[in-house]
Amino acid sequence: MGTFYVTTPIYYVNAAPHMGHAYTTIAADVMARHHRQRGDEVFFLTGVDEHGEPVANAADALGMTPQALADQNAERFRSLMPRLNASNDFFIRTTDPEHKAKVQEVLVRIKDNGYVYKDHYEGWYCPRCADFKSEAEIEDGSRCPIHHIELTMEKEENYFFKLSAFQERLEQHYADHPEFVGPRHRANEALSFIKGGLQDVSLSRAKLTWGVTVPWDEDHVFYVWFDALLNYYTALSYAKPGEDLTGTFWPPQQHVIGKDILKFHAVFWPALLMAADLPLPERLYIHGYLLMDGEKMSKSLGNVLDPFVVMDRFGTDALRHYVLRDVTFGQDGSVSTEAFEQRYESELANGFGNLASRSIAMVRKYRDGAVPHVEPELREDFDGLADEVAALIDRAELTPALELVWERVRRLNRYVEETTPWALAKDPANAERLDVVLATLIEGVRVVAVLLAPVLPETVDKLLAALNAPDIAYAGATLTAGAVTQVDVLAPLFPKDLPPAPVAA
């Protein structure tokens, strides 16, 4: 038993949540739930990024104050978490006074350590990214490669962070810790950026008022990224009233982000922590985009798939399963409501749901619900499975881990067809053989359910309740004679009579 601290990025409140936000949150939640199964003390952090120019501009366009827009959209993100069945331990807002005070404390320490100075800056700026772009990061003359809008040339006097001072230390850290960033091609991307030569970056903005005030110069606010990047550290100091959790959980074991913010988290963040004399996170896992029409889902691009609509129709567990199953976690991949429906029917309803239903139904029909206490078969298919799944999840390889479990679902369904228990039941001479088959099916379903609990928490709760075996402790993810003694009626886990798809306005 150890500790496990997992974080998502904090989400911009300039627009309502969309599927991309759900994707990252679900992935982090699966890791958190898995580690709780293993008996680890877990802290799972998510939240919202409320400062910076994108929020101020969005509020101005709506005739609102930035704080009013932040309050409105922060609540939308907060309400997304229980709908996703996210088990986060804290939801941070960067307008929290405790966060702002801790940001000031850390950045004063960085200044006192000699890594801050004042100078003029001029460069291309994307207000939606809240990011100054180098020449290598610009497309079509002077456009943002992410939002495809014209960049603006900004010139102002700012405080700067001496990012360049950390080039060698960052290169050495990547060399000494090859698992620091995953997948490997993302680590190579970050390292290429570092080796290309790090330039000092703006730490403050003088033209903005919506942000954390620079304590040594109140005419400036901290550049939103430095405010935001510190949330993973600041949250631990006040998430639990009256207790500082920093000593227990820092540094994070796993940080999950999307590839569009790689530079900030894989380069700026570790340099910032080095400057503050703080330990670095153990691992960053950088996933790709969920794509629609070939583009990253983005409210500003107008191509979003509403997670609330998807959950209303297919259920939350179906969403959780799909985003990790259909698109290999770490890669880009296209999503659609049609693909949801196909995966729902083939794997959830016809695969796992049907396996559980008919296994329980046969025990009730042929043995009055009493599970035979005999040694199950298929041990060669399940031996070592739990360890393999755990090793993959430790590396944030969630899709391959899920595939390993799904291989066993398919194996159990083949086992039903191979053994034909309905035929065995016709002849009393086959009673002992039927006992073994039924025990194997029920125990196989139970083990698969324990392994799927982090992905399908609602479904697994219902299934294990019908098995009268509610324990999801990871130690129980092995075939064991007698683990289930009596089964009850199980309602369909994934009904096929789905509500109709909403009609587009």
Q: Residue 436 and residue 417: Cα distance in Å, rounded?
A: 15
Nearest residue to 228 via CA among 254, 255, 206: 255
Q: Within a 10 A sphere around the Cβ of 389, how many other Cβ atoms?
A: 23
Inter-helix orientation angle 19-37/385-394, to 10°: 130
Residue 239: CA count within 13 A, CB half-sphere: 20
Given 144, 162, 259, 462, the catalytic residue? 144
Question: Which residue stretches of 315-453 are H helix?
Answer: 316-325, 337-343, 354-367, 379-382, 385-394, 398-419, 421-424, 431-452
Tell whether residue 185 is among the known ligand binding residues: no
Give the chain's end-to-end CA distance (angstroms, integer).
52
Q: Residue 243 and residue 237: Cα distance in Å, rounded?
A: 7
Given 34, 35, 51, 126, the catalytic residue? 126
Tell whether residue 220 is among the known ligand binding residues: no
Catalytic, 220? Answer: no
Tell whether residue 126 is among the known ligand binding residues: yes
Tell whether residue 148 is among the known ligand binding residues: no
Residue 139 CA: distances (Å) to CA of 131, 295, 345 = 15, 16, 42
Catalytic, 144? Answer: yes
Given 162, 296, 321, 462, the catalytic residue? 296
Catalytic, 147? Answer: yes
> Which residues is 219 bridged to in the sheet?
none
Q: Residue 106: enclosing H or E segment and its boundaries?
A: helix 97-112
Catalytic, 18? Answer: yes
Given 34, 100, 111, 129, the catalytic residue? 129
Catalytic, 162? Answer: no
**366 φ/ψ angles, rounded to the nearest 5 degrees:** -95, -20
Active-site residues, by number, are 18, 21, 126, 129, 144, 147, 296, 299
Q: Which residues are annotated as a binding site for Zn(2+)?
A: 126, 129, 144, 147
Q: Which residues are annotated as a binding site?
A: 126, 129, 144, 147
